[in-house]
Chain A
């Protein structure tokens, strides 16, 4: 199928389709209803379709936006909110962690808080330390929150539809460097991709590269290079959601390949990748010949292009890390 679906359009389409499907879905955030449709031009024209009662701009008040989403969610609406940059999630933290995430359990499993918190994340855009972070791992250890992080347009659409239909609070991450990429549309317009199930994006026998979000296209690019130049066949596992984490798919892959590298755009300490390696060691040690991490340094994200490029592990870094670890010199 040809690459006709743009990532940002996939997001917009998922929102529109789910709002058509379910009257209780509402959507609000900063400048999301403005003509451009948010600073990344993802949601233009949605207010025109559904009206200002269901789609509206808010003041610059992340605490109120996120707290209000919780209150609305537990009283019958299904809010989608946009916290423009993931970095601003610090201001959203309290109500998400202390209210939304706990509601299902504390109510004796009688009431949930169905809401989706969308944000743009990730580096590579020269936005500097406070507009480039990936906040997923800030929430990694909070039971009751789901975390979805799509890697392609079709996946963005399918995962977002699932997130909107999910009865739990879902943090939904959109990597800035993916907004303008195009990919094949989903098989059917109705396709919903279940949260909590990873996808083998490329089969391979020699090692497993696990990643999520933009790390997946990077890994696929690296895998193609390794196959062509080095005769290394890498399997690429796309986690799709970081919580729940589909450990089973990773273990199955490792059982085939015996080698695992987890690629994360963020520091190793406290990241999802180190957590995953721990779980694989616990449950799959007998299958492992080698396992390692490819992450950023334990530092904030720098602005200067030379520093940022060296900081973020992209396709080149993945390929050379695999070569080095496998002890092969590049054929090129």
Chain B
């Protein structure tokens, strides 16, 4: 397979597409919040609003058949990888039409058809899943990406898998979404050395700290990492610094975050960063408004379809313990 690096600069249509994908995730999460409060989303849910640029930037550097392993904060991971918002939303609502038939729910979505190996409820689990996918990917000329949080870098999973991928020269890209908190605990309080990027050096793995609220900065870093992987030059760690707009999960008002800090990050909302970039590119407001309308319609359609869909009927289901 020949590998040519795609340029990080893109045609105007592609700029609009990135923006649209981020907006899709944002509006999806807005609906999730609303539907949760209405009792339509059950249990718990972890929103990724504010972090959209990371999965969108990373997935823009991937081919559709590359692999991605995401987390319980995974709606953005799935949507960026190509999961249909209709089937994702139905899954969140526990409906039979969900991407996993309502069995998985918000934290555990699997969509192999779109290269989503899974979203994993165990912190650090995605790192191992992607490492294994990279063993497969190596034979196929593909790449495997792990998405995980800052907190996950304190798990054995992180350290064992980075070393493993390095010594086996696996085509893996480890993408840390550093949103500076693991649940209610500030990242600096629990991260020895205070820096995630530099941890890769111990394993001889190239790493980079990236502005995770700028989708094109993420894209550029991801393109380089993906190219390295495809060329057989082994894994990369990207630390994408970003921020979640909501609390950790549904019940968390996130009072532990200083208001100035929240303000500072809200001012760098990835959607606004992208819009500024679109303006720089001379893309007309009218064109942006058209994207806004199209995405809104897509989400509305997904919500209506999901709300109208049936719940799975336990009497009619015939679940099997084992694959045949």
Chain A interface residues (CB < 8 Å from chain B):
30-31, 34-36, 39, 57-64, 87-88, 90-91, 125-131, 297-300, 302-307, 309-311
Residue interface mask B237-263, A partner, CB < 8 A = 1: 000000000000000000110000000
Of B79-87, B149-157, B277-285, which binds chain A?
Answer: B149-157
Q: Is the beta-carbon distance between B314 and A310 smaller than 8 angstroms?
A: yes
Q: Is the beta-carbon distance between A126 and B107 smaller than 8 angstroms?
A: no
A72 to B195, CA, bound (A): 28
- Cβ of B121 to closest chain A Cβ, rounded Å: 4
User: Which 7 pairs, one residue from A and one from B, show the smallest C-beta to C-beta distance?
Assistant: A303-B105, A126-B43, A126-B42, A304-B102, A304-B94, A310-B314, A130-B121
A306 to B311, CA, bound (A): 7
- Cβ of A87 to closest chain B Cβ, rounded Å: 7
- Cβ of A88 to closest chain B Cβ, rounded Å: 7
Q: Is the beta-carbon distance between B321 and A305 smaller than 8 angstroms?
A: no
B108 at the A interface (CB under 8 A): yes
Chain A hits for B256, CB < 8 A: 34-35
- Cβ of A332 to closest chain B Cβ, rounded Å: 22
Chain A hits for B95, CB < 8 A: 304
> Which residue of A59, A91, A127, A307 contacts B190 across the interface (Cβ within 8 Å)?
A59
- Cβ of B154 to closest chain A Cβ, rounded Å: 4
- With A60-B155, A307-B314, A310-B314 as known contacts, state yes or no: A128 contacts B105, CB within 8 Å: yes
Q: Is the beta-carbon distance between B312 and A61 smaller than 8 angstroms?
A: no
Chain A hits for B103, CB < 8 A: 129, 300, 302-304, 307
B294 at the A interface (CB under 8 A): no
Nearest B residue to A131 via CB reads B121
- Cβ of B150 to closest chain A Cβ, rounded Å: 9
Nearest B residue to A132 via CB reads B43
Of B11-19, B178-186, B211-219, which binds chain A?
Answer: B178-186
- Cβ of B201 to closest chain A Cβ, rounded Å: 20
What is the size, in residues, of chain B's interface with A at 8 Å between Cβ atoms? 42
Q: Is the beta-carbon distance between A299 and B319 smaller than 8 angstroms?
A: yes
User: 23 A-B pairs, CB-CB below 8 angstroms?
Assistant: A31-B183, A34-B184, A59-B151, A59-B154, A59-B182, A59-B190, A60-B155, A60-B190, A61-B156, A64-B156, A126-B94, A128-B43, A128-B107, A130-B122, A302-B102, A302-B103, A303-B42, A303-B94, A303-B105, A304-B98, A305-B42, A306-B102, A306-B314
A63 to B96, CA, bound (A): 37
Q: Is the beta-carbon distance between A60 and B184 smaller than 8 angstroms?
A: no
B126 at the A interface (CB under 8 A): no
A298 to B102, CA, bound (A): 18
- Cβ of B166 to closest chain A Cβ, rounded Å: 21
Chain A hits for B101, CB < 8 A: 304
Chain B interface residues (CB < 8 Å from chain A):
42-44, 94-96, 98, 101-108, 120-124, 151-152, 154-156, 182-185, 189-191, 255-256, 311-315, 317, 319, 321
A130 to B107, CA, bound (A): 8
Q: Which of A39, A87, A302 has the most CB of B within 10 A?
A: A302
Nearest A residue to B125 via CB reads A130
Q: Is the beta-carbon distance between A303 and B154 smaller than 8 angstroms?
A: no
> Which residue of A57, A130, A306 contacts B94 across the interface (Cβ within 8 Å)?
A306
Q: Is the beta-carbon distance between B311 and A128 smaller than 8 angstroms?
A: no
- With A60-B154, A306-B94 as known contacts, state yes or no: A31 contacts B314, CB within 8 Å: no
Chain A hits for B319, CB < 8 A: 297, 299
- With A303-B94, A305-B42 as known contacts, state yes or no: A34 contacts B108, CB within 8 Å: no
- Cβ of A217 to closest chain B Cβ, rounded Å: 21
Q: Which of A63, A91, A298 has the most CB of B within 10 A?
A: A91
Q: Is the beta-carbon distance between B313 and A306 smaller than 8 angstroms?
A: yes
Q: Is the beta-carbon distance between A60 and B123 smaller than 8 angstroms?
A: yes
Nearest A residue to B311 via CB reads A306
- With A36-B184, A131-B107, A303-B105 as known contacts, state yes or no: A59 contacts B43, CB within 8 Å: no
Q: Is the beta-carbon distance between B312 and A307 smaller than 8 angstroms?
A: yes
Q: Is the beta-carbon distance between B152 and A60 smaller than 8 angstroms?
A: yes
- Cβ of B146 to closest chain A Cβ, rounded Å: 16
A35 to B124, CA, bound (A): 25
Q: Is the beta-carbon distance between A31 and B184 smaller than 8 angstroms?
A: yes
A88 to B42, CA, bound (A): 21
Chain B hits for A126, CB < 8 A: 42-44, 94, 105
A59 to B256, CA, bound (A): 17
> Which residue of B96, B108, B311 contacts A130 across the interface (Cβ within 8 Å)?
B108
Chain B hits for A62, CB < 8 A: 155
Q: Is the beta-carbon distance between A303 and B108 smaller than 8 angstroms?
A: yes
Q: Is the beta-carbon distance between B317 and A307 smaller than 8 angstroms?
A: yes
- Cβ of B2 to closest chain A Cβ, rounded Å: 40
Q: Is the beta-carbon distance between B184 and A88 smaller than 8 angstroms?
A: no
- Cβ of A308 to closest chain B Cβ, rounded Å: 9
A39 to B43, CA, bound (A): 13
Q: Known pairs A64-B156, A304-B94; list 19 more (Cβ under 8 Å).
A: A30-B183, A34-B183, A59-B182, A60-B182, A87-B121, A127-B43, A128-B106, A129-B108, A130-B107, A130-B121, A130-B122, A131-B44, A297-B321, A298-B321, A305-B94, A306-B102, A306-B311, A306-B312, A310-B315
Chain B hits for A303, CB < 8 A: 42-43, 94, 102-106, 108
Q: Is the beta-carbon distance between B43 and A304 smaller than 8 angstroms?
A: no
Chain A hits for B182, CB < 8 A: 30, 59-60
Nearest A residue to B123 via CB reads A60
- With A59-B154, A306-B94 as known contacts, state yes or no: A128 contacts B183, CB within 8 Å: no
Q: Which of B95, B103, B191, B255 has the most CB of A within 10 A?
A: B103
Q: Which of A63, A91, A297, A303 has the most CB of B within 10 A?
A: A303
A233 to B107, CA, bound (A): 43
Nearest B residue to A130 via CB reads B121
Chain B hits for A125, CB < 8 A: 43
Q: Is the beta-carbon distance between B105 and A35 smaller than 8 angstroms?
A: no
- Cβ of A139 to closest chain B Cβ, rounded Å: 18
